[in-house]
Chains A and B, each alone.
Chain A
Amino acid sequence: MLNRYPLWKYLLILVVLVVGLIYSLPNLFPEDPAIQISSAQGDSLDERQIDRVETALSENDIAIKALEEENGQWLIRLRHDDDQLSARDIAADLLGNDATVALNLAEATPEWLQAFSASPMTLGLDLRGGVHFLLEVDMEAALTQRLEVNGSAMRELLRDERIRYRNTDIEERSLSIDFASTEDRDTARSLISRDFPEFEYSSEGDGRASTLVMTLSDQSVNEIQDYAINQNLTTLRNRVNELGVAEPMVQRQGPNQIVVELPGIQDTVAAKRIVGATANLEFRLEARNDTPDNETEILTFRNEPSRSAELMRDVIITGDSVSSASNSFDENGRPQVNIDLDGTGGTLMNRATRTNIGRNMAVLFIEHKSEDTVVVDPETGEETIEREPYVERGLISLATIQSALGNSFRITGLDSPTEAAELALLLRSGSLAAPIYFVQERTIGPSLGAENIERGLLSVQIGLLLVVLFMLVRYKVFGVFANIALALNLTLLVAVMSMLGATLTLPGIAGIVLTLGMAVDANVLIFERIREELRNGMSVQQAIQAGYERAFTSIVDANITTLLVAVILFSIGSGPVKGFAVTLSIGILTSLFTALMVTRAMVNLAYGSKPVKKLWI
């Protein structure tokens, strides 16, 4: 029988649509702008104080949607985004030091929807704003790090050439090496200067006190600093992109600062940990008994501070040589990180381990942190915040080298699966070329004005309405089918994007509407084909069947090619390109489903296996 679907197809369609509906529904309940008030002392707040805040807010024409109390914390939900900041200011002024007042985005999804773990899409920086971090790159540390790496390489060069040296020292932007004789120093100077042209060389002292001092030129200092900033920008972009399909912003500001803005977040703690993490790894050999003291360092274990080991100062490789990393569990169920090295890293690792089988190798975890202390000027009484950077270093493992290591290996000795996952993420997205510190952390308003947002949304609605009208006028009853399919398509698209945690920006919304405009294409192709077959004298049922069948190859070919582009852009591109590719791919899949299956189901239900003389198409 022509134009009939088996029952399971109707059921399948129904299930997909119901699931889509459930997951798209939370978007009808957008998060409420709210202020959160908690007592500064940790006890619960006096209800009278909340009453005072409430009165003050209504006196300032700020509409309150709801008041909630949970664990001694009060949440005041507001009606309008614009009021959030002034409400916070009013409440903070009123309560003074008794309470902490913070901004919050309160979930408004009804509980039965939350039970499906359905949540709305995040609104982008342009529509709602988010958090703004200002980070400062520690340029001195960038220089010191570079000098340490160069120092290591020079020591290795000297050892290879069997030139004896005594001590290496780093001071601001210069590196000095002590030698036992003037000749040694002079041979070393000609040797090193060939490989390291970025230094200015000077020889000081002679005989047993001869020293070679190498100072970085201004130009190379600039180059190192530019490199450090750019490398950090790239790493931060990789990291925030790893957080999901959100549309973050990362840009350089001033000579040594970086701005990171993340949409839809007002709780900053989690974001801060990933953005600001400056963890890196170093792989070093354990010192031999006969190694001179000036080449070794004693370090303690991270999770066992009483245990320590004496390590070589020379670094085999750092986390910078890692090309990919993932976390998993070892045979005993302990967390581990699997590491793949790039070409150079692999060679270095292989060379170091091949000649040192039986010795211990240590994995060192390094993290740059900073501590803020409030300093009160005794004369003016002014409070300034002083930042004291410090470095935390600890061993995470010390294991015997069993055989020469190559490009891939694993490290164990991590505290928890979470730590393994974060370490893998950090190694994957690249380490920071220089440590960074948080200078500022603020909530930021939408970058588009209210008027722009309203106009944008209005134009999108009108655009959609025009498509609907066009289809109705042109295809009559079939236009109704196509329009229902369009509405379902929109529902499914929104559902999938919400499940993926995508961020919605104004151009993103325009993109969705455009996808819908293009999504009617499949139906247009089918309907035009049905008309054509009717003109060629086919019967109504045959024409419907032929229309769907013959348009099918066109539709599939056309959509697969576009899907290929989208998938590749997603896998290679990043940031906004990636976001666009996600919307496009989902749009193609959902529109194929609704245009082919859903409209067919409706057509079959309406016309299938019935005598129909004329089609309203």
Chain B
Amino acid sequence: MKPLSHLRIDFMGRRNIAFAVSAVLLIVSIGAILLQQLNLGLDFTGGTLIEVRYGAAPSLDAIRVLLEESGFQDVSVQTFGASTEVLIRLQQAFDADVGGEVVNLLRASGDSVDLVRSEFVGSQVGDQLRDQSGLGLLVALGVVMLYVAFRFQYKFAIGALLALLHDVIIVVGVFALFQLDFDLTVLAAILAVIGYSLNDTIVVYDRVREAIRTSRIEDMPQIFNEAINATLSRTLATSGTTILVLLALLLLGGDMIENFAIALLVGIVVGTFSSIYIAAALLLPLKLSREDLIPTKKELDEEEEELP
């Protein structure tokens, strides 16, 4: 792994290509969100609830597989009070026939099945909860921006905010584009992506700040390159371990974790990219200069005097 540390990749020289790639991804994502919309899961949309009674205790996994093969989505099957009573939740707009349809399907395998009731169920996420969570997210972003502006400088805060928005929009965009189920676990994954991406951005920023303070050259892109190359092995190691975990979850974890893992995988790849090319590279058009980080009046050390 040693060669990594000797790499001198000219990240900033290729920033226009990276900006273009980001722009394309963002446009496709926003387009997909607006045109195709999200395929919201049972948690958000509600669906149909069916209670059936079997003659003898059935295998729940078999019921689940059967229903999914017959084209029902987001199926949850659980025992209800007794081992012969089964509660089925489907993400299927309620109509009076769904119950009968499901019972016929289940009877096809030769079991004796009676329909107890079939009813629509509402979403698990109320409007108020949704609004509250949205508000929470905005407040959280605001506070983080203040912290970054305080610890670094406001230009860094703008860069970090844009990088976060970039990541979230692309992850949501992927879910809209491929019409993957967007449920509460995916929402949790997106929150995790925000945490991860922010973490990554701050680490890069920290090194950029250090490089600007200690470097003796004035060429900003060059300073940025040094900082990013210095953190590159760390970035790849951390992203690498996280991606390893996620691949294990994705490939072996089964349906429940699948979408969670996809959201995080996309988020971490995009988040790593955005810490370099959105958060850091955006500082260049924002005209970050050494004076932004070193107050000219307070400290009159050597470096200060060297400034033109």
Partners in one complex: yes
Residues of A within 8 A of B124 (CB): 249-251
A577 with B191: in contact, given A129-B78, A558-B206 (CB under 8 Å)?
yes
B241 & A528 in contact (Cβ 8 Å cutoff): no
Residues of A within 8 A of B256 (CB): 126, 448, 452, 456, 506-507
A89 with B83: in contact, given A253-B119, A507-B185, A561-B148 (CB under 8 Å)?
yes
Interface residue A538 (Cβ < 8 Å from any Cβ of B):
no
A455 with B253: in contact, given A254-B119, A564-B140, A572-B133 (CB under 8 Å)?
yes
A447 with B78: in contact, given A456-B254, A554-B202 (CB under 8 Å)?
yes
Interface residue B289 (Cβ < 8 Å from any Cβ of A):
no
* CB interface residues, A 470-510, toward B, < 8 Å: 470-471, 474, 506-507, 510
A185 CA / B152 CA spacing, docked (Å): 72
Per-residue contact bits, chain B 30-54, to A (CB 8 Å; 1 contact, 0 not): 0000000000000000100100000
Among B5, B76, B83, the one with the most A-chain Cβ atoms within 10 Å of its Cβ is B83
A86 CA / B82 CA spacing, docked (Å): 7
B136 & A535 in contact (Cβ 8 Å cutoff): no
* CB interface residues, B 230-266, toward A, < 8 Å: 230, 233-234, 237-238, 240-242, 244-246, 248-249, 251-257, 260-261, 264
A568 CA / B126 CA spacing, docked (Å): 20
Per-residue contact bits, chain A 540-564, to B (CB 8 Å; 1 contact, 0 not): 0000000000000110011111101
A576 & B195 in contact (Cβ 8 Å cutoff): no
Interface residue B144 (Cβ < 8 Å from any Cβ of A):
yes
Residue of A nearest to B207 (CB): A554
Residue of A nearest to B249 (CB): A459
Residues of B within 8 A of A251 (CB): 46, 121-124
A444 with B242: in contact, given A252-B122, A535-B5, A584-B192 (CB under 8 Å)?
no
B126 & A230 in contact (Cβ 8 Å cutoff): yes
B249 & A463 in contact (Cβ 8 Å cutoff): yes
Interface residue B7 (Cβ < 8 Å from any Cβ of A):
no
B241 & A467 in contact (Cβ 8 Å cutoff): yes
A558 & B245 in contact (Cβ 8 Å cutoff): no
Among the listed stretches B56-64, B101-109, B216-224, which one makes contact with chain A, having 4 or more residues with CB under 8 Å of it? B56-64
Interface residue A443 (Cβ < 8 Å from any Cβ of B):
yes
A518 with B244: in contact, given A253-B120, A507-B188 (CB under 8 Å)?
no
Residues of A within 8 A of B70 (CB): none
Interface residue B269 (Cβ < 8 Å from any Cβ of A):
no
Among the listed stretches A143-151, A194-202, A420-428, A519-527, which one makes contact with chain B, having 4 or more residues with CB under 8 Å of it? A519-527
Interface residue B178 (Cβ < 8 Å from any Cβ of A):
no
Question: Residue B129 contacts which of A452, A535, A564, A574 (CB distance < 8 angstroms)?
Answer: A574
A469 CA / B37 CA spacing, docked (Å): 41
A470 with B244: in contact, given A89-B82, A448-B256, A459-B249 (CB under 8 Å)?
yes
B244 & A576 in contact (Cβ 8 Å cutoff): no
* CB interface residues, B 275-304, toward A, < 8 Å: none
A571 CA / B139 CA spacing, docked (Å): 11
Interface residue B81 (Cβ < 8 Å from any Cβ of A):
yes
A443 CA / B141 CA spacing, docked (Å): 41
B238 & A577 in contact (Cβ 8 Å cutoff): no
A459 & B248 in contact (Cβ 8 Å cutoff): yes
B82 & A577 in contact (Cβ 8 Å cutoff): no
Residues of B within 8 A of A470 (CB): 237, 240-241, 244
Residues of B within 8 A of A562 (CB): 195, 198-199
Question: Residue A452 contacts which of B195, B233, B255 (CB distance < 8 angstroms)?
Answer: B255
Residues of B within 8 A of A252 (CB): 46, 121-123
A127 to chain B, nearest CB (A): 10
A514 with B245: in contact, given A456-B256, A528-B233 (CB under 8 Å)?
yes
Question: Residue B83 contacts which of A86, A132, A573, A574 (CB distance < 8 angstroms)?
Answer: A86
Residues of B within 8 A of A447 (CB): 76-78, 89
Residues of B within 8 A of A455 (CB): 252-254
Interface residue A68 (Cβ < 8 Å from any Cβ of B):
no
A126 CA / B77 CA spacing, docked (Å): 10
Residues of A within 8 A of B128 (CB): 234
B249 & A460 in contact (Cβ 8 Å cutoff): yes
Residue of A nearest to B243 (CB): A517
A48 CA / B174 CA spacing, docked (Å): 64
A19 to chain B, nearest CB (A): 27
Residue of A nearest to B259 (CB): A507
Question: Residue A466 contacts which of B57, B76, B123, B245 (CB distance < 8 angstroms)?
Answer: B245
Interface residue A513 (Cβ < 8 Å from any Cβ of B):
yes
Interface residue A462 (Cβ < 8 Å from any Cβ of B):
yes
Residue of A nearest to B204 (CB): A554
A451 & B260 in contact (Cβ 8 Å cutoff): no
* CB interface residues, A 380-422, toward B, < 8 Å: none
B206 & A442 in contact (Cβ 8 Å cutoff): no
B241 & A577 in contact (Cβ 8 Å cutoff): no
A467 CA / B295 CA spacing, docked (Å): 42
B234 & A525 in contact (Cβ 8 Å cutoff): yes
A525 & B203 in contact (Cβ 8 Å cutoff): yes
A525 CA / B80 CA spacing, docked (Å): 50
Residues of B within 8 A of A577 (CB): 133, 136, 187-188, 191
Instruction: Count chain B residues whose beta carbon lies closer than 8 angstroms to a beta carbon of A.
Output: 82
A295 to chain B, nearest CB (A): 37
SS class, residues of chain A in contact with chain B: helix
A561 CA / B151 CA spacing, docked (Å): 10
A569 with B140: in contact, given A253-B121, A253-B122, A528-B237 (CB under 8 Å)?
yes
Residues of A within 8 A of B24 (CB): none
Interface residue A154 (Cβ < 8 Å from any Cβ of B):
no
Residues of A within 8 A of B61 (CB): 449-451
Residues of A within 8 A of B234 (CB): 521, 524-525, 528
* CB interface residues, A 69-104, toward B, < 8 Å: 85-86, 88-89
A456 CA / B252 CA spacing, docked (Å): 7
Interface residue B18 (Cβ < 8 Å from any Cβ of A):
no
Residues of B within 8 A of A456 (CB): 253-254, 256-257
Residues of A within 8 A of B57 (CB): 85-86
Interface residue A276 (Cβ < 8 Å from any Cβ of B):
no
B83 & A85 in contact (Cβ 8 Å cutoff): yes
* CB interface residues, A 250-269, toward B, < 8 Å: 250-254, 257, 259
Residue of A nearest to B137 (CB): A569
A559 CA / B141 CA spacing, docked (Å): 15
Interface residue A446 (Cβ < 8 Å from any Cβ of B):
yes
Interface residue A532 (Cβ < 8 Å from any Cβ of B):
yes
B281 to chain A, nearest CB (A): 19
B203 & A471 in contact (Cβ 8 Å cutoff): no
B145 to chain A, nearest CB (A): 10
A474 & B140 in contact (Cβ 8 Å cutoff): no
Residue of B nearest to A528 (CB): B234
Residues of A within 8 A of B144 (CB): 561, 564-565
Interface residue B162 (Cβ < 8 Å from any Cβ of A):
no
Residues of B within 8 A of A442 (CB): 80-81
A524 CA / B4 CA spacing, docked (Å): 15
Binding site for A on B (CB under 8 A): 1, 5, 46, 49, 57, 60-61, 64, 76-83, 87, 89, 119-129, 132-133, 135-137, 139-141, 143-144, 147-148, 151, 184-185, 187-188, 191-192, 194-196, 198-200, 202-203, 205-207, 230, 233-234, 237-238, 240-242, 244-246, 248-249, 251-257, 260-261, 264
Binding site for B on A (CB under 8 A): 85-86, 88-89, 126, 129, 132, 230, 233-234, 237, 249-254, 257, 259, 442-452, 455-456, 458-460, 462-464, 466-467, 470-471, 474, 506-507, 510-511, 513-514, 516-518, 520-521, 524-525, 528, 531-532, 535, 553-554, 557-562, 564-566, 568-569, 571-577, 580-581, 584
**Given A467-B244, A514-B242, A558-B199, 4 more pairs with CB closer than 8 A:** A449-B61, A467-B241, A510-B253, A558-B198
Cross-chain pairs A/B with CB under 8 angstroms, 20 sampled: A88-B82, A89-B83, A234-B126, A251-B124, A253-B49, A445-B60, A452-B255, A456-B256, A462-B252, A467-B244, A510-B253, A513-B249, A518-B196, A521-B238, A557-B151, A558-B200, A558-B206, A565-B198, A568-B139, A568-B140
**Which 10 pairs show the lowest CB-CB distances between chains A and B?**
A252-B122, A572-B136, A445-B79, A459-B252, A455-B254, A442-B81, A463-B245, A459-B253, A463-B248, A85-B83
